[in-house]
Amino acid sequence: MSSDAIQPFYAMEILARAQALEAQGREVCHLEIGEPGGRPAPRVLAAVADCLERPMGYTSAKGMPELRQRLARYYAEQHGVELSPERIMVTMGSSSGFILSFLAGFGPGARIAVTRPGYPAYLNILASLNLASVEIPVSPANGWRLTVGDIEAAHARAPFDGLLLASPANPTGAVLAREDLAAIIACCDRLGVRFISDEIYHNLNYVGGDASALEFSDGHIVINSFSKYYCMTGWRIGWLVMPEDLIRRAEMMAQSLFISASSVSQYAALAALDARADYDARRDEYATNRLILAEGLQALGFKAAQPADGAFYAYVDASAFTNDTMDFCFRMLDSAGVAATPGIDFDRTDGHKYVRFSYAGTRETIERGLERLGAFLKA
């Protein structure tokens, strides 16, 4: 592994700097991290309060049976898929889900393809596990969407063993149409590539419904989380759906790597699955924020700032103002008190001219951030 394979997670570096400024008494508009600004649903908090009245010990490494059964019902209700709870594993957020997927699904030295731009932790986790990565570039010309042609061309240049893809995507918010996801999975099957579907932004879609990889195949991996739609980032709770040939191996690894996910968080997650009305209302607030942010960024002169289809990000071209968005973002934070993430976090090659803004917070934060950003650009 090369010394520069693992790089900082710059969204977290910006957050740390913002929190240091806040400790000095500064007010910061947080548009840097994908963290919902609202609280979990009331029934989730009530479920956690109930946990205080009884012992909270380990669960099985795969998670509480009742939570796995409820997750299986979720796939029946949302995607029309009949799924055995035995294929479901509750994880410590999606992060441990990625680790288990890579370790259980691939041998030493395997090559995993990801999109560029993409979630920075993908490359860092792969490098930490001494697995190789292959980046497939996507562009705004195609709405930042990966195509079958992209996959075939990349595989012909340098064959890979797995493909990890998110829809909706971070940082671009790109959403794959159902038929496009089906075509990509069929392509992976033809090439003998294990597909890993990152579905942690499911239910944050402003143009239609989300398709799950489970609708098209039983032989691939699905990763999901309660962090985003369910507003439970700090609770560190997520889940995996594994093919039958991998689930036992993943379970044995989890027994030693993690023992089990938090029992309290598992009870909270179980309650969250029955509180979708609360979270759909929250999504409607994001939809409003999405339009306010896009309109404001376009008015300020950012390019490629049209509203994305999903997630809660705007990944915009800042080349009208800088060719070094790392410096730009730190200056914007220090001078204007607006925190955003430099594009180099998501694209180590071309990200120097992009910035990601999150609209997961409140409308007031976004409007105040845009006002401050406008003053910063005029200074």
- Tell me the CATH number at 16: 3.90.1150.10
Which stretches of the chain score pLDDT less than 50? Answer: 1-3
Domain check: are 263 and 299 in the same one?
Answer: no
DSSP output for 263-332:
HHHHHHHHHHTT-HHHHHHHHHHHHHHHHHHHHHHHHHT-BS-SPPSBTTEEEEE-TTT-S-HHHHHHHH
Q: Using an 8 Å Cβ cutoff, are 209 and 309 in contact?
A: no
How many domains does the chain fold into?
2
Is residue 337 within 8 Å of 372, Cβ to Cβ? yes
**283 in any annotated domain:** yes
267 and 311 in a single domain? The answer is no
Domain boundary at 229, 247, 273, which?
Answer: 273
For residue 114, how many C-alpha atoms fall within 13 Å in the half-sphere facing its CB? 25
Structural domain containing residue 269: 42-273
* 322 within a domain of the structure (yes/no): yes
d(CA 379, CA 374): 9
On whether both 230 and 315 belong to a single domain, the answer is no
Q: Are residues 72 and 203 in the same domain?
A: yes
Assigned domain for 73 exists: yes
Q: Which of 247, 273, 299 is the last residue of a domain?
A: 273
pLDDT of residue 253: 98
Are the CB atoms for 175 and 168 separated by under 8 Å? yes
Across 10-131, the runs of DSSP E, i.e. the strands, are 29-30, 88-91, 111-116
Q: pLDDT of 128-185, one tens digit each? A: 999 999 999 999 999 999 999 999 999 999 999 999 999 999 999 999 999 999 999 9
pLDDT digits (tens, 9 = 90+) for 282-322: 999 999 999 999 999 999 999 999 999 999 999 999 999 99
**Is residue 151 within 8 Å of residue 187, measured between CB atoms?**
yes
204 with 123, same domain: the answer is yes
Q: Which DSSP symbol is given to 188? A: H
Residue 2 falls inside a structural domain = no
* Judgement on whether residues 222 and 267 belong to the same structural domain of the protein: yes
Return the pLDDT at 6.
87
Whole-angstrom distance, CA of residue 327 vs CA of residue 340:
11
Residue 221 β-bridge partners: 196
Q: Are residues 258 and 330 in the same domain?
A: no
Residues 152 and 217 in one domain: yes
Beta bridge partner(s), residue 89: 240
Supply the CATH number for residue 91's domain: 3.40.640.10
177 in a domain, yes or no? Answer: yes
**Residue 4 falls within a domain, yes or no?**
no
* pLDDT recorded at residue 2: 46
CA 302, CA 308: separation in Å to the nearest integer? 14
Last residue of a domain, one of 242, 273, 304: 273
Specify if 241 maps to a domain.
yes
Buried-state track 99-122, b at ≥16 Cβ within 10 A, e below 16: bbbbbbbbeeebbbbbbbbbbbbb
Residue 306 identity (one-letter amino acid): Q
Q: Decide if 123 is inside a domain.
A: yes
Q: Is 165 helix (H, G, I), strand (E, B) or coil?
A: strand
